[in-house]
A and B are shown apart, each in its own frame.
Chain A
């Protein structure tokens, strides 16, 4: 079967069409960056705030406040109208998300600014944590509300949360070891980073299994992840090997032998930068619509 149309209506032989508006070429890539910055930034803040690790908390806020905001605005077709995006929180996850991450940045900054041991500070602490969590969660829920069967899988928001917390732990651990050598704080991120990667590994296997059996379109997405040229490179190479298995291996190796600092730092960055970004890239680029015909 083949379909064609008068415009750039590109289909493959099975009549499936990949979405290319989110995460395609050029400025369309900014949406992947926005999801990535939101997840990693808020994840780093949560992990760092819970362990009183100030550099991590500041970096997390900065990533969301600057990186995520800028990426969202640059992605828009009409960036000057960005302020309109908060108009419909009653039904749109984009509006809700902007409210969440604005609240997160403001409450987190206020929390760090307010003098210690006051009730207000405690309130701000929990407010910043909850809004940071919602900043992570909403990306997955936003994808759940689209017509793309792969994104409608119920595990998507869960994976966004786990991946963000894991990458937040890795980035915090990286910062901790980079600036403070073997501090207690830096070492305390390791279990979270390790178990985050393990859980993510399990989740991704369940997700792919479920998606393969759920719907012909999501099956096509899974095939793209696992067998297409880009998918193979991204999934096996960058996401699985560098993003998950390398950090897991480095951690396990470190339990037995002394690990060179550069190896640990690379493992942290591999997960927090490459793995976390490529996860979102795969998710968006692999989005396939149900065939109309």
Chain B
């Protein structure tokens, strides 16, 4: 059985936000909703200052607390490890957003246009996939994955900082990166078994 995972090489990430915009373009998330985010941090004191970027998304944990706490079964995990949400079942209680240590889930309160003139044709098409009053999150571009393609953020990353693959295959690129370059997940102490790893 496959176990999808992602490795993000922070030594290659230059904070260009292409992943954020690629995700927006592909999934057409509503205004204010980002499945991919880039956190930034400045460290040190002038003139010895460094700036680091941390792209974050749903970690598709092995033991996802969001799935466990969901009272309706709207949040579920596929056999290949991808955690997804069935919007028709979501009641908008937001227990999952409280349970996720990565703050990867977003509550869609209102679906509003980005521009005052109303919804653009792009928004009209894309926003049809979202429901007001429900929670949404990254799904590793599950339709693309099912077609044998990489998630769009992986495909679009200009520095090839992101690698996607099967963690259960010891010969896959993600397994090799995690093993050889010692990829580490975020907040391992949360005990959720995240499947997004970072190389520093």
Tell whether A and B belong to one assembly: yes
Interface set, chain A 145-162, CB cutoff 8 A to B: 145-148, 151
Please state if B94 and A21 are interface contacts (CB–CB under 8 Å): yes
The answer to whether A21 touches B107 (Cβ under 8 A) is yes
- Chain A to chain B contacts (Cβ below 8 Å), 26 pairs: A1-B42, A3-B40, A5-B37, A5-B39, A6-B17, A7-B33, A76-B93, A77-B94, A77-B132, A78-B134, A81-B89, A81-B91, A84-B71, A85-B72, A87-B71, A87-B72, A91-B69, A92-B68, A92-B69, A145-B69, A147-B65, A147-B99, A148-B98, A151-B98, A292-B54, A292-B186
Q: Which of B54, B97, B107, B135 contacts A293 (CB 8 A)?
A: B54
Q: Which residues of A contact B101 (CB under 8 A)?
A: 147, 289-290
Cβ-defined contact, A147 with B98, below 8 A: yes
Q: Is the CB of B92 within 8 A of A94?
A: no
Q: How far is the CA of A7 from the CA of B131 in the complex (A)?
A: 19
* A102 close to B (CB within 8 Å): no
Asked, given contacts A85-B72, A92-B69, A147-B101, whether A3 binds B34 with beta carbons under 8 Å apart, the answer is no
Check B41–A293 contact: CB distance below 8 A.
yes
List 9 extra interface pairs beyond A6-B37, A77-B133, A86-B71, CB under 8 A.
Answer: A5-B38, A5-B39, A19-B98, A77-B108, A78-B92, A81-B91, A92-B69, A92-B71, A289-B103
A88 touches B71 (CB 8 A): yes
- In contact, B42 and A92 (Cβ under 8 angstroms): no
The answer to whether B90 and A77 have CB atoms under 8 Å apart is yes
Instruction: List, in ascending order, chain B residues with CB within 8 A of A9's CB.
Output: 37, 39
Question: CA of A85 to CA of B72 in the docked complex: distance in angstroms?
Answer: 5
Note all chain A residues with C-beta closer than 8 A to B103.
17, 289, 292
Most buried by B among A9, A78, A84, A290: A78
Enumerate the 10 nearest inter-chain pairs by beta-carbon distance, A residue then B residue, closest first: A77-B92, A77-B133, A94-B71, A147-B101, A146-B98, A84-B72, A92-B71, A95-B71, A21-B94, A85-B71
Given the complex, which residues of B lie within 8 Å of A6, measured CB to CB? Answer: 17, 20, 34, 37-38
Q: B93 contacts A85, CB within 8 Å?
A: yes
Flag whether A174 is at the interface (Cβ < 8 A).
no
Evaluate contact between A292 and B32: CB separation under 8 angstroms.
Answer: no
| B65–A292 CB distance below 8 A | no
| Any A CB within 8 A of the CB of B149 | no
- Which residues of A in the span 69-102 have a Cβ within 8 Å of any Cβ on B? 75-78, 81-82, 84-88, 91-95, 98
> A202 contacts which chain B residues (CB < 8 A)?
none
Chain B window 162-195, contacts with chain A (Cβ cutoff 8 Å), 1 for yes, 0 for no: 0000000000000000000000001100100000
Q: Is the CB of B133 within 8 A of A292?
A: no
* CB contact under 8 A between A77 and B98, given known A17-B103, A82-B91: no
Q: Flag if A88 contacts B133 (CB, 8 Å).
A: no
Smallest Cβ-Cβ distance to B69: which chain A residue: A92
Q: Give the chain B neighbours of A75 by CB distance below 8 A.
A: 93
**B133 contacts A78, C-beta separation under 8 Å:** yes
Say yes or no: is A2 at the interface (Cβ < 8 Å to chain B): yes
A21-B98 contact given A5-B39, A77-B91, A78-B90, CB 8 Å threshold: yes
B12-54 vs A, CB cutoff 8 Å, 1 = contact: the mask equals 0000010010000000000011100111111100000000001
The distance in angstroms between the C-alpha atoms of A92 and B96, with both chains bound, is 10
Residues of A within 8 Å of B34, CB to CB, are 5-7
By the criterion CB–CB under 8 Å, are B95 and A78 in contact? no
B91 to chain A, nearest CB (A): 4
Q: Flag whether A229 is at the interface (Cβ < 8 A).
A: no
A119 on the B face (CB < 8 A): no
Q: Is B100 interfacial (CB-CB < 8 Å)?
A: yes
B161 within 8 A of A: no
Q: Considering the chains assembled together, what is the distance between the CA atoms of A87 and B72 in angstroms?
A: 5
Q: Does A207 contact B (CB under 8 A)?
A: no
Q: How far is the CA of A93 from the CA of B108 in the complex (A)?
A: 23
